Amino acid sequence: MQDRLIVGLDVPTLGEAEAVVRDLDGVISFYKIGYQLAFAGGLDFARDLVSSGARVFLDMKLLDIDNTVAKGVENIARMGVSMLTLHAYPKAMRAAVDAARGSSLCLLGVTVLTSMDEGDLIDAGYEYDPHTLVLRRAEQALAAGMGGVVCSADEAAAVRRIVGPEMAVVTPGIRPAGAERGDQKRVMTPADAIRSGASHLVVARPIVKAPDRRAAAEAILAEMKAA
């Protein structure tokens, strides 16, 4: 389960990120770096983590013209990180797959953010409800040759039926029973996410903000294993 639990280093400074990694040494070996830390020296820290033997999920949610996406993916693949996100737009996904070919980089298509519900999608101009849009983008990710998708655990079972057993189904918005939702709107417990077909769970605040990070991570790992 250590390979399936990804801890989000959603902290503002490298010092705090280093403290999280120290606290979780020997328990967690997979970390997510997103915008907040990336723009505070997190890209170099990602290289350091890879050099130390840890795995890194770079959550950049790329979206741009095909050539720009491709060139970005080529450089990211050279960093040695394990996973990279981009928004699941068909043209961007196809460009990324071509650029990553021959590397071990797992490309993940972000379907619908777990902070968004139907009202948010309507405001953004989409004609689909979250569930329908997630499934449509999962189909497009499969067709593009992506390594996996990112979706709410609410949709994991339906996505798994579409993408089959090999693709990664990565689920953020994981909250242990009793934990606060924060800004997440579509959440699920670790056990339910595993039962629903998620291959990897992304957990940030319930571990990073816990009084005892190590104990919090171990409890989630135990729940995943039991499921």
Residue 161 Cα distances to 8, 146, 156, 206, angstroms: 27, 16, 9, 29
59 in a labelled binding site? yes
Residue 165 CB neighbour total at 10 angstroms? 8
What average pLDDT does the structure give for the chain? 93
**Residue 167 assigned ligand-binding role:** no
Query: Binding residue per annotation — 185?
Result: no
The catalytically annotated residue of 61, 71, 185, 225 is 61
pLDDT digits (tens, 9 = 90+) for 160-173: 999 999 999 999 98
- What are the distances in angstroms from CA 31 to CA 21, 141, 163, 178? 9, 23, 24, 24
**Rounded Cα–Cα distance for residues 176 and 102 (Å):** 38
Return the percentage of the chain with pLDDT > 70, whole number: 95
Residue 182 has pLDDT above 60, yes or no: no
Q: Is the pLDDT of residue 187 over 70?
A: no
Q: Delineate the domains of the chain, giving CATH numbers in brackets.
A: 5-226 (3.20.20.70)
pLDDT of 35 higher than 80: yes
Q: Decide if 129 contacts 118 (C-beta within 8 A).
A: yes
d(CA 45, CA 40): 10
Q: Which of 28-32, 120-124, 151-155 has the highest mean pLDDT?
A: 28-32
Among 156, 163, 160, smallest CA distance to 193 is for: 156
Q: Is 10 annotated as a binding residue?
A: yes
Q: Does the structure show a pLDDT above 80 at 189?
A: yes
Distance between CA atoms of 42 and 1, rounded to whole angstroms? 25
State pTM to two decimals. Answer: 0.92
Annotated binding-site residue? 129 = no
How far is residue 97's CA from residue 106's CA, in Å, rounded to a whole number? 9
Q: Is the pLDDT of residue 201 over 70?
A: yes
The answer to whether the annotation marks 142 as part of a ligand binding site is: no
209 in active site: no
Q: Which of 74, 22, 31 minimizes the C-alpha distance to 56? A: 31
The dihedral through the CA atoms of 130, 131, 136, 137 has a sign that is positive
pLDDT band at 145 (very low <50, low <70, confident <90, very high): very high
CA–CA gap between residue 207 and residue 20 (Å, rounded): 9
* 205 annotated binding-site participant: yes
